[in-house]
Amino acid sequence: MLTLYHSPLMPTCRKVRLMLREKNVPHALKTELFWMRRVEFFSLNPAGEVPVLVTDKGNAICGPYAITEYLDDQFPDVQFFGNTPIERAEVRRLVEWFDAKFDREVTQLVLFEKLYKRLMGYGEPSSEAIRAGKRNIGYHLDYIAYLLNSRNWLAGEYLTLADISAAAHLSSLDYLGDVDWELHPSVKEWYALIKCRPAFRDLLEDHVQGFKAPSHYADVDF
């Protein structure tokens, strides 16, 4: 059985968890406090970062890009990267958008400051950074709405890793109550379609001690 070392609210870990569930791949989860820098974990990933997927043969696959590519190759019944070169290029473009640009402009400024900074013992959150991240959320939600104006899903006509990546980031922020869905009804409708999928249920049951999610977080009909 595959084993995923993860951090529950980290978007890149959530993305891998969603993909495993969508593909119905049996797996075990192990929460890794990566900031503790365990020697045993560094033996799996010298970078000391999650996610890390360990195969039943003991091979460690490190990082969200390598893991999602591996899963799509190893379990091809359900494809999440698209069927043509153009489709795959668009999926990868949007995955990079959320895992790099969105992460830099929103996730790191809100999720890291409000949650991980405290978990890691890095002191008080920066209110200036949080305000900047919250301002940036609107810009990204506008872009998602723009994509959905001409597509059923973010990268085209069916669910891909682009949607999973975006939903992973937004779900982490939603746990903290930092997404104003009412200002972006088309994005809310898109997110609700993903949120009600069976693969999403485990994420809605996540709980981080000392941080209570808003009531709508686990409500699939929010």
Distance CA 181, CA 217 (A): 12
Query: Which residues, other chains included, contact 14 with Cβ-Cβ below 8 Å and sequence gap of 6+?
Result: 8, 168, 171, 172, 203
Q: In whole angstroms, what is the distance from residue 24 CA to residue 144 CA?
A: 27
**What is the structure's pLDDT at 222?**
78
Domains of the chain: 2-74 (3.40.30.10), 85-204 (1.20.1050.10)
Which DSSP string do the residues of 160-209 spell out, in sequence order?
A: -HHHHHHHHHHHHHHHTT---GGG-HHHHHHHHHHHTSGGGHHHHT--BT
Binned average pLDDT, 10 residues per bin, the chain of 222 residues = 98 98 98 97 98 97 98 95 96 98 98 95 95 97 98 97 98 97 97 97 94 93 80
What stretch of H or E contains 134? helix 127-148
Checking DSSP bridges between strand 60-62 and strand 52-54, what pairing results, if any?
A: antiparallel
**Residue 54, Ramachandran bin (φ over 0: left; ψ between -120 and 50: alpha; else beta):** beta
CB 218 within 8 A of CB 204: yes
User: What does the block give as tokens for 107?
Assistant: 């996730």
Other CB atoms within a 10 A radius of the CB of residue 154 amount to 25
Tell me, what's the pLDDT at 48?
Answer: 98
Helix (H) or strand (E) holding 72: helix 64-74
Asked, as a colleague might, if the bond just before 51 is cis with ω within 30 of 0, I would say: yes
pLDDT at 21: 98
Closest CA to 195 of 213, 217, 162: 217
